[in-house]
Amino acid sequence: MTDKIKVAIIGSGNIGTDLMIKVLRHGEQLEMAALVGIDPASDGLARAERLGVTACATGVEGLIELPVFEHIGLVFDATSAAAHHHNEKVLRAARPDLRVIDLTPAAIGPYCVPVANLDEHLDALNVNMVTCGGQATIPIVHAVSGLAKVHYAEIVASISSKSAGPGTRANIDEFTETTSLALEKVGGAEKGKAIIVLNPAEPPLLMRDTVYVFCEPSDPEPIRAAIEAMVEKVNAYVPGYRLKQDVQFEHYGEDGPLYMPGEGARAGMKISVFLEVEGAAHYLPAFAGNLDIMTSAALATGERMASRLTGAPAQA
């Protein structure tokens, strides 16, 4: 059996609409069935209708009443953390076996970063795509932790204020908490910290992510190679993801110890990684890389899950 898996997207805002276009253009195993929102006048729902996709303006309750709902195998939720808790309950009551990919920081299901741990969660009923900053930076921490013990990882995600819509702004607190925890659970750091900056600069700047990793003393070259290889893996499904400059290493010995946040001084190595994420501009402007990396990661996850469900070969 190799039929495509029908999908619905809840959330007709920027992220949901961009994801819909990605599914329509690039879905190998996914077939767009319905876009769901709560604003009948939203541009996303209007665009869905023009593209021949069922548009539903009555939220998750309306979705489960659609005739196509019984044929849907996968639902993406691109609303908010608070809304996802409600949506998950409604969907689970209607279809206990339904697969859900959560693009909010609600974190009901396990954290999922495709290049780091997707294989572990292909059978999960609900997976959480962490945050835009998490998708950009956790792969780097994961690459380092595979070679050296990571004592502390700190990330700073700087995004254009224009790319931060109501959903993003409503989830700021959840962003820092979810990303910090995922740096530990998925990235492998003993302690993680996340900071987000909404940059009001005009013209809008591309998403920039800075990753600081404090680890045990190690040979820099294997770590540099692992980081560069990881960037290539993420770039395979997020084409605008790249290193902004060379990876930097600083060594600290007993004579010049490294200050570990919350722990004091110790010997070790500090790694600084500077990333840039340019959006694919499918629906959103190119500077909105923070949204593009979420929809790209969600699409990659959905494709792999669909391959699992249909038995079709997974895409490279």
Number of structural domains (the chain) is 2
Give domain status of residue 117, yes or no: yes
pLDDT of residue 267: 75
Count of CB atoms within 10 A of residue 245's CB? 10
pLDDT of residue 262: 63
Give domain status of residue 266, yes or no: yes
pLDDT of residue 240: 98
Domain with residue 245: its CATH number is 3.30.360.10
**Are 199 and 180 members of one domain?**
yes
**Range 255-258, long-range pairs (CB < 8 A, 24+ positions):** 258/214
**Are 99 and 137 members of one domain?**
no
CA pair distance 36, 45, nearest whole angstrom: 7
**Are 268 and 234 members of one domain?**
yes
Residues making up the annotated binding site for NAD(+) are 12-15, 163-171, 290
Asked if residue 229 lies in contact with residue 192, where contact means CB atoms within 8 angstroms, the answer is: no
Count of CB atoms within 10 A of residue 2's CB? 9
**Are 79 and 139 members of one domain?**
no
CA pair distance 219, 227, nearest whole angstrom: 13
**Are 193 and 221 members of one domain?**
yes
**Are 113 and 165 members of one domain?**
no
**Are 151 and 272 members of one domain?**
yes
pLDDT of residue 55: 98
Give catalytic status of residue 215 as yes or no: no
pLDDT of residue 258: 66
Give domain status of residue 246, yes or no: yes
Q: Identify any residues that bridge with 196 across adjacent strands, giving them in sequence order.
A: 157
**Are 125 and 159 members of one domain?**
no
Instruction: Flag whether the pTM goes above 0.85.
Output: yes
- Amino acid (1-letter code) at residue 217: P
**Are 91 and 143 members of one domain?**
no
Query: 56, 112, 132, 215: which is the annotated catalytic residue?
Result: 132
The residue count for the chain = 316
The residue with tokens 């050296």 is 148
CA pair distance 128, 100, nearest whole angstrom: 9
For helices 289-310 and 132-145, the axis angle rounded to 10 degrees is 70
CA pair distance 198, 164, nearest whole angstrom: 7
Asked if residue 44 lies in contact with residue 13, where contact means CB atoms within 8 angstroms, the answer is: yes
Give domain status of residue 315, yes or no: no
Domain carrying residue 264:
132-287
CA pair distance 187, 189, nearest whole angstrom: 6
pLDDT (tens digit, 9 = 90+) per residue, 235-293? Answer: 999 999 999 999 999 988 755 666 666 666 677 899 999 999 999 999 999 999 999 99
Per-residue 3-state assignment (H helix, E strand, C coil) for the chain:
CCCCEEEEEECCCHHHHHHHHHHHHHCCCEEEEEEECCCCCCHHHHHHHHCCCEEECCHHHHHCCCHHHHHEEEEEECCCHHHHHHHHHHHHHHCCCCEEEECCCCCCCCECCHHHHHHHHCCCCEEECCCHHHHHHHHHHHHHHCCCCEEEEEEEEEEEHHHCCHHHHHCHHHHHHHHHHHHHHCCCCCCEEEEEEEECCCCCCCEEEEEEEEECCCCHHHHHHHHHHHHHHHHCCCCCEEECCCCEEEEECCCCCEEECCCEEECEEEEEEEEEECCCCCCCCCCCHHHHHHHHHHHHHHHHHHHHHHCCCCCC
pLDDT of residue 312: 75
CA pair distance 94, 102, nearest whole angstrom: 17
**Are 103 and 231 members of one domain?**
no
**Are 76 and 154 members of one domain?**
no
pLDDT of residue 316: 46
pLDDT of residue 254: 59
pLDDT of residue 264: 65
**Are 161 and 125 members of one domain?**
no
Give domain status of residue 13, yes or no: yes
The closest alpha carbon to 277, from 146, 111, 144, 134, belongs to 134
Domain with residue 34: its CATH number is 3.40.50.720
Per-residue pLDDT of the chain (316 residues; tens, 9 = 90+): 458 999 999 999 999 999 999 999 999 999 999 999 999 999 999 999 999 999 999 999 999 999 999 999 999 999 998 999 999 999 999 999 999 999 998 999 999 999 999 999 999 999 999 999 999 999 999 999 999 999 999 999 999 999 998 878 888 998 999 999 999 999 999 999 999 999 999 999 999 999 999 999 999 999 999 999 999 999 999 999 999 999 999 988 755 666 666 666 677 899 999 999 999 999 999 999 999 999 999 999 999 999 999 987 765 4
pLDDT of residue 30: 98
Give domain status of residue 316, yes or no: no
The residue with tokens 């593209």 is 51
pLDDT (tens digit, 9 = 90+) per residue, 136-167? Answer: 999 999 999 999 999 999 999 999 999 998 87
